[in-house]
């Protein structure tokens, strides 16, 4: 049995990783247990594997406080790497600019549009050459703050919701990602794209949520410019792996069904 240390264990991915690695000697650390902008607290038992899921994930707030986001995302990765154990670090589709119209693979050049994306790209370097860098996208799970849970709440409150229809990506269920990470740690280190099969826009995802939940709520398809959020997002950020042995994740619609069974 391996000692597996999970940072950000209170987040949606952290919680899923704790479930997937429950058979190991698990050390689950929430934000309260370890603020990763600081070095690890003294007395932490030496881990055999670190799953670093703590991060600044508020994409819009990072525009106003890029240094705060950098302290968590870049500083946190450095501190996680300093534990000296094999490290799985999580990054994002937002390292790409979305100009491509075919799936992004590991060898494509990043060009982040937002402060959040820039901190995540730098965090990949901070995690070091000896880490697994997992780029994933549009995460949702049965806990935490995410698009699926927000839509379910709005869907019962309103007759119609306005949702952007000009961003295309891979909505990924954290349970499926956590299972893929179990496979990944048997494979060579480096950058890996791990996202759900299939692709859609946020509006299409909202429609699927309402369909699966049997909620009668219309989706008004709007442009990102109409929403006017502070951080620019890539218009297209579908992730696929070009690596022959990459773990394969189920389709996002299957992830949505599995997630909703747990809500």
The answer to whether residue 173 is catalytic is no
87 sits near ligand NAP (criterion: CB under 6 A): no
The footprint of ligand NAP on residues 205-244 (CB under 6 A) is: none
Point out which span in 32-40, 96-104, 204-212, 229-237 binds ligand NAP (CB under 6 A).
Answer: 32-40
Q: Which of 13, 154 has the CB closer to ligand NAP?
A: 13
Beta strands in the chain (DSSP E): 3-7, 25-29, 49-52, 87-92, 132-136, 139-140, 160-164, 168-169, 172-173, 190-193, 200-201, 218-222
DSSP secondary structure letters along 147-164: HHHHHHHHHHH-SEEEEE
Interacting residue with ligand NAP among 68, 103, 144, 232 (CB under 6 A): 144
12 sits near ligand NAP (criterion: CB under 6 A): yes
Six-digit token pair at 106? Answer: 């590991």
Residue 5's contacts (CB-CB under 8 Å, 6 or more residues apart) are 27, 29, 44, 47, 49, 50, 51, 83, 85
The distance from CA 13 to its chain's CA centroid, rounded to whole angstroms, is 7
35 sits near ligand NAP (criterion: CB under 6 A): yes
Six-digit token pair at 47? Answer: 């881990």
What H or E segment, with its residue span, contains residue 182? helix 174-184
Interacting residue with ligand NAP among 2, 24, 37, 231 (CB under 6 A): 37
Instruction: Mark 39-78 with x for binding to ligand NAP (rule: CB under 6 A) and - for no binding.
Output: --------------xxxxx--------------x------
The nearest distance, CB 214 to ligand NAP, in angstroms, is: 25
Query: Which residues form the catalytic set?
Result: 116
Applying CB under 6 A, which residues contact ligand NAP?
A: 8, 10-14, 31, 34-37, 53-57, 72, 90, 92, 120, 136-139, 144
């Amino acid at each position: 049995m391996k000692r597996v240390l999970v940072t950000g264990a209170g987040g949606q991915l952290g919680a899923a990783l704790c479930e997937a690695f429950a058979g190991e000697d698990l050390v689950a650390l929430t934000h309260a247990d370890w603020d990763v902008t600081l070095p690890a607290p003294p007395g932490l038992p030496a881990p055999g594997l670190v799953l670093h899921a703590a991060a600044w994930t508020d994409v819009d707030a990072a525009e106003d406080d890029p240094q705060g986001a950098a302290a968590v995302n870049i500083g946190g990765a450095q501190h996680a790497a300093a534990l000296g154990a094999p490290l799985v670090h999580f990054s994002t589709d937002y390292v790409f600019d979305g100009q491509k119209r075919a799936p992004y693979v590991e060898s494509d050049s990043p060009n982040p549009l937002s402060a959040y994306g820039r901190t995540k790209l730098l965090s990949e370097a901070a995690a070091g050459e000896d880490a697994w860098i997992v780029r994933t996208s549009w995460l949702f799970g049965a806990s935490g703050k995410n698009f699926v849970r927000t839509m379910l709440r709005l869907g019962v409150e309103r007759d119609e919701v306005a949702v952007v229809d000009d961003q295309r990506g891979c909505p990924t269920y954290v349970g499926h990602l956590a299972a893929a990470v179990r496979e990944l740690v048997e494979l060579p280190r480096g950058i890996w794209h791990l996202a759900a099969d299939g692709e859609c826009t946020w509006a299409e995802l909202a429609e699927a949520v309402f369909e699966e939940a049997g909620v009668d709520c219309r989706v008004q398809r709007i442009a990102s410019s109409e929403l006017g959020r502070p951080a620019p997002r890539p218009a297209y950020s579908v992730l696929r792996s070009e690596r022959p042995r990459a773990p394969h994740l189920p389709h996002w619609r299957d992830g949505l069904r599995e997630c909703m069974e747990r809500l």
